[in-house]
Homo-oligomer: A and B are copies of this chain.
Amino acid sequence: MARKPADQSVDREDILWAAAEVLHRNGYEATTMKDIAAQVNLTAASLYHHFKNKDFLLLNVLEVGLDLTIDKLERIDASDRSCVEKLSAMIRSHVVSVTGNVAVGAAMVFEIRALLNVSVGAKNSDESFTREFVARRNQFFARRDYFEGLFRNIVRAGIESGEFREVDAAIVTKAMLGAHNWVGVWFKEGGRLSGEAVADVMVDTWLAALGERNG
């Protein structure tokens, strides 16, 4: 094959993380291809060798972030534990993810609207690009619903098993995810609490909210 210089070996992954960081700082629309390129010492033109265009780049960042989070949650979900234990582990996993990679966590929250606003009905030259983009975008949103469902199902299961009190599982789940997502907005590395400590507070908070009685 070809080129992979010793000093500036930049691959897809590097660009993805760099993009997440810049996205976190500026937001999708305010982020230029030049900004992202600069973060990895490239020019804007070079990015098009790795990604079809700006929209696909954003989509990739979100896909990777979501996949990483879902993987961990599925492992917990598949384990043989009580609902209380599962939910605790899931909350901890989610919050630690967000605090560990604020860039991706925040992108997951803030850039979804940008994804929706991509001008799909416009005068785009390449028709197949549009088609593929829409398909992958829809799949992303479906996967995001699945992600939320993982939490909601545990809440529901816990209610049925009597481990949790009776609540509106859908709303409480959304409240929970809102609280977690918001962590990506205010959390700063090196602050009063570590990511794990914040996660512990969240676990404690939500178990209490769900009226768990064995903690």
Listed in ascending order, the chain A residues whose CB lies under 8 Å from chain B are 25-30, 110, 113-114, 117, 165, 167-168, 170-172, 174-183, 185-186, 192-193, 198, 201-202, 204-206, 208-211
Complex alpha-carbon distance, A170 and B180, angstroms: 14
A182 CB contacts on chain B under 8 angstroms: 174-175, 177-179, 181-182
A101 to chain B, nearest CB (A): 18
Residue of B28, B117, B172, B204 near A167 (CB, 8 A) is B204
Complex alpha-carbon distance, A177 and B179, angstroms: 7
Q: Can you show 22 pairs from A to B with CB atoms below 8 A apart?
A: A25-B117, A27-B28, A27-B113, A27-B114, A28-B29, A167-B204, A168-B193, A168-B201, A171-B198, A172-B201, A174-B183, A174-B186, A175-B201, A176-B179, A177-B182, A178-B180, A178-B181, A179-B179, A181-B182, A208-B208, A208-B209, A208-B210
A210 CB contacts on chain B under 8 angstroms: 208
Each complex incorporates copies of this chain amounting to 2
Contact A30-B177, Cβ < 8 Å, known A198-B171, A201-B172, A208-B210: no
* B110 pairs with A171, CB closer than 8 A: no
Closest-by-CB residue of B relative to A207 is B209
A176 CB contacts on chain B under 8 angstroms: 179
